[in-house]
């Protein structure tokens, strides 16, 4: 039996408003990566997430890191509007309470750099 895959890595899309639109863009990127790598998460999986936000100078002064993390976690749960109890998109992870470790960093990027950041979701690694 093949070993189950857990790791997904995506390039984050550029932040757009309203925030639910950005959540949908993130969700689309993760779903695409999930299909390519055949990665599935169950309710019993313990996960960790690593996020690098590459923002312009002006964006870095206006975006609170906790709000962007919330958007990403909601995208992973399929939440991009609607009621809290009913996901509007297909959930990638059943619940964000499965995430036991978060690494997040906000950096400023040169105006000519195209990358808006990276997201890596994987099985919890014990130290």
Could you read off the pLDDT of 103-115 as tens digits, one per residue?
999 998 776 677 8
pTM recorded for the entire structure: 0.92
Residue 87 maps to a domain: yes
Query: Which of 5, 116, 21 is closest to 75 using CA atoms?
Result: 21
Residue 2, domain member (yes or no): no
Weakest mean pLDDT among 64-73, 93-102, 103-112:
103-112
- Whether 3 is in a domain gets the answer no
Strand-pair category, 99-108 with 47-55: parallel
Name beta bridge partners: 108. Answer: 55
With both helix axes pointing from N to C terminus, report the angle between 19-37 and 65-76 in degrees, rounded to the nearest 10. 50
32: left (phi over 0), alpha (psi -120 to 50) or beta: alpha
**Overall number of domains in the chain:** 1
What CATH number did the domain enclosing 70 receive? 3.30.1330
What pLDDT score was predicted for residue 105? Answer: 96
Does any domain span residue 59? yes
Per the structure, the complete domain to which residue 29 belongs is given by 8-123
């Amino acid at each position: 039996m093949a070993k189950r895959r857990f790791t997904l890595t995506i390039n984050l899309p550029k932040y757009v408003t309203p925030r639910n639109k950005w959540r949908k863009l993130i969700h689309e990127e993760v779903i695409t990566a999930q299909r390519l790598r055949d990665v599935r998460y169950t309710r019993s999986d313990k996960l960790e997430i690593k996020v690098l936000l590459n923002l312009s100078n002006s964006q870095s002064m206006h975006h609170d890191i906790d709000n962007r993390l919330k958007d990403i976690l909601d995208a992973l749960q399929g939440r991009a509007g609607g009621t809290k109890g009913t996901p509007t998109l297909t959930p990638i992870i059943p619940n964000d309470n499965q995430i036991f470790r978060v690494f997040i960093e906000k950096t400023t990027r040169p105006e000519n750099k195209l990358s808006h950041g990276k997201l890596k979701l994987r099985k919890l690694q014990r130290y």
